[in-house]
Amino acid sequence: MIEEKLFLRTRSGDESFGFEKEKRRRLRAVIIVILTAALLAGAWKAYDILWLRHRYLITAYCDCPICINVKSFRNGKFASRKPVYWGGIAADKKIPFRSGVELVPATPTDWFAVWRLLDGRRKFVVEDRGGKIRVRHLDIFFPKDRGGHEAALRWGARRMRIKINGKLAD
Ligand SMILES: [Zn+2]
C-alpha cells in the first residue's frame, strides 16, 4: 500500500514537471518570435530613416494631350529644345539641363519595375521641365515607340533614391 502511494506521487510529480517544461518551452518560443519581430521592425525603421526617406517621386509622361495639356509644348521637343528621345527626363529647375540622373531602386519591387518597364534602364538625362514638377520629383518621358501613354501609366508613380551626376542625392 505504501509503495503504491509513493509510486503515484512520483508519477504525478513527473507529469507536472513535464508540463512545466512544456510551458517554459512555449514561453521561450513566444519570446523569440517577439524579439525577432522587434528586431525586424527596428531594422526596417532604420532602413526607412537612413535610406528610404531620401527617395524622390518618379512619375512618367508622354506627349499626348492628357500628359501635356499645353498644345504648344507638344512640339516634339523638350524644354531644352532637343527633339524628344527615350532617355530624357523632366526635373525641377534645381537640376540643370543635361544633368545625368540615375535611379537607385531600394526594394525588389522597384528593381522589378525598372527591369520590366524601363528595360533595366536607370540612367536618364534632364531635358524637360513641367508645371507640376516640383522639388524631389522626376518625370520619365516615354516616346511612342516605347509604349507612350500606356507605358507611362504602367509605370505610374514610384518612389526611389536617385544619383545626380553620379552623386547620391539627399
Ligand atoms: Zn500621355
Q: Are 110 and 51 in contact (CB under 8 A)?
A: no
- Counted domains in the chain: 2
pTM: 0.77
Q: Are 144 and 83 in contact (CB under 8 A)?
A: no
Q: How far is the CA of 70 from the centre of ligand 1 (A)?
A: 12
Q: Do 91 and 136 fall within a single domain?
A: yes
Q: How far is the CA of 91 from the centre of ligand 1 (A)?
A: 17
Provide the residues around ligand 1 (an ion) whose CB is within 5 A: 62, 64, 66-67, 149
User: Which range (15-29, 49-63, 79-93) has the least confidence?
Assistant: 15-29
Q: How far is the CA of 69 from the centre of ligand 1 (A)?
A: 10
CATH number at residue 104: 2.40.40.10
Q: CA-CA distance, 42 to 61, in Å (whole number)?
A: 37
Q: How far is the CA of 83 from the centre of ligand 1 (A)?
A: 17
- 97-120: pLDDT as tens digits: 999 999 999 889 999 999 999 999
Torsion-angle region of 61 (φ positive above 0: left; ψ -120 to 50: alpha; else: beta): beta
